[in-house]
């Protein structure tokens, strides 16, 4: 076995262990630790907060959406926190309130990012549990109940993220969220999730004590902050949030993932917190830094070694190694889509999976050329 083949197999092994090996570890720990969450005897008061900025196309339907939640009507109140809309968002909410809508509106000016709306919400509400949900998200009726139930089941849990279901015709976007929902769920069950989606999540109010006003993506910062403070972040598979404003084309997908990934990596690298950081949090954080910052370049190196190996008698390994990556990825996607019926056909699924991998790899390779964690507009992941 020559040096070229050894290098090729070594790099492939590192990539496989750092991706599928890590997933396997999470699955084993989750299986050992998982316990059914008991249903609460009574439900606590909850604040349903909707941060808005120029959402006239969505806000009225969002208010209707919140009235359909399967939660005791005397146990929740609605708060709309506007960040300085220049359209009719505030006027529409005021009209609805005059017509009898039991909601409260707070209008802010000079808001730089969504984080300031979150901080203002924490100042305005007195409820221990707060559910933040974006205007362009439609919740399944039991979503709020499921989120709160998981918070009540474990005092160590500070944030519970909803399972995001994108309303998109783009297969890559659907695959992306199925994989992310599954990964965040595994991380949360084993240790603590390294992220969650800001489009819908439940927060234990007393755990959000340190929030950086300058950060753009509040979901990234909150997940890092509460974990570093000794709390946990989990994802609830049964709490489903349908996101309407998502990428519909490959170009939109690529640009959004590149921008979002840049902020995420910057937050992981530069996050500072004086609290005690658990070993589980450190494992998840370092694994995610590996996946975002190191693994893409190892992939480039592996491709280069593969091209060189193509000129040698050991070229048969070029069929075996890719199969070791494609098979578990494809198998996982098939399992995740088994009950959804949204993906049909091996050819279509394989093509979308490969294109998704290329798009994600390309966006990760050029993260440093995008906006930083403190630049540009925020938005859902």
Give the model confidence (pLDDT) of 306-325 as tens digits. Answer: 999 888 888 888 888 878 88
- The confidence band for 265, taking pLDDT boundaries of 50, 70 and 90, is confident
Q: What is the pLDDT of residues 94-136, one digit of tens each?
A: 999 999 999 999 999 878 788 889 989 999 999 999 999 999 9
Contact between 30 and 190 (Cβ < 8 Å): yes
Confidence at residue 214, expressed as pLDDT on a 0 to 100 scale = 65
Confidence at residue 320, expressed as pLDDT on a 0 to 100 scale = 82
Confidence at residue 275, expressed as pLDDT on a 0 to 100 scale = 56
Kindly list the domain boundaries of the chain, sorted by start residue. 1-34+136-381, 45-125
Q: What is the pLDDT of residues 30-39, one digit of tens each?
A: 988 877 667 7
375 three-state secondary structure = coil
Helix or strand (DSSP H, E) at 291: none
Q: How far apart are CA 281 and CA 192, in angstroms?
A: 6
| Bridge partner list, 103 | 78
Q: What is the pLDDT of residues 191-206, one digit of tens each?
A: 888 889 999 999 998 8
Confidence at residue 65, expressed as pLDDT on a 0 to 100 scale = 98
Q: How far apart are CA 22 and CA 354, in angstroms?
A: 21
Helix, strand and coil in the chain, % to nearest 5: 55, 15, 30
- The confidence band for 261, taking pLDDT boundaries of 50, 70 and 90, is confident
| Bridge partner list, 126 | none
Question: Which residue, 138, 111, 115, is CA-closest to 54?
Answer: 111
């Amino acid at each position: 076995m020559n040096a070229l083949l050894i290098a090729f197999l070594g790099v492939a092994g590192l990539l496989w262990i750092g991706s599928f090996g890590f997933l396997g570890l999470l699955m084993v720990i989750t299986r050992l630790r998982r316990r059914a969450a008991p249903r609460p005897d009574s439900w606590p008061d909850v604040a349903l907060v909707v941060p808005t900025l120029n959402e006239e196309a969505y806000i009225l339907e969002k208010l209707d959406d919140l009235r359909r939640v399967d939660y005791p009507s005397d146990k929740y109140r609605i708060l709309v926190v506007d960040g300085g809309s220049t359209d009719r968002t505030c006027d529409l909410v005021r009209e609805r309130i005059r017509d009898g809508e039991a909601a409260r509106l707070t209008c802010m000016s000079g808001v730089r990012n969504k984080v300031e709306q979150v901080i203002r919400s924490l100042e305005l509400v007195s409820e221990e549990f707060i559910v933040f949900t974006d205007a362009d998200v439609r919740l399944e009726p039991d979503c709020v109940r499921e989120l709160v139930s998981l918070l009540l089941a474990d005092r160590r849990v500070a944030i519970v993220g909803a399972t995001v279901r994108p309303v998109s015709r783009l297969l890559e976007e659907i695959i992306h969220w199925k994989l992310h929902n599954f990964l965040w769920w595994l991380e949360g069950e084993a240790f603590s999730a390294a992220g969650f989606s800001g489009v819908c999540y439940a927060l234990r109010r007393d755990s959000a004590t340190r929030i950086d006003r300058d950060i753009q993506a509040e979901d990234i910062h909150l997940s890092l902050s509460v974990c570093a403070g000794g709390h946990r972040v989990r994802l609830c598979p049964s709490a489903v949030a349908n996101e309407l404003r998502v990428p519909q084309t490959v170009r939109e997908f690529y640009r959004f993932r590149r921008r979002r990934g840049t902020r995420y990596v910057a937050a992981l690298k530069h996050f500072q917190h004086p609290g005690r950081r658990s070993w589980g949090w450190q494992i998840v954080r370092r694994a995610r830094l590996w996946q975002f910052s190191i693994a893409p370049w190892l992939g480039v190196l592996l491709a280069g070694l593969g091209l060189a190996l193509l000129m040698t008698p050991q070229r048969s390994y070029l069929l075996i190694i890719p199969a070791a990556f494609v098979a578990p990825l494809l198998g996982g996607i098939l399992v995740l889509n088994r009950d959804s019926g949204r993906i049909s056909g091996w050819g279509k699924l394989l093509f979308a999976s490969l294109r998704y991998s290329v798009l994600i790899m390309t966006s990760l390779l050029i993260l440093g050329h995008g906006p930083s964690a403190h630049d540009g507009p925020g938005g859902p992941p």
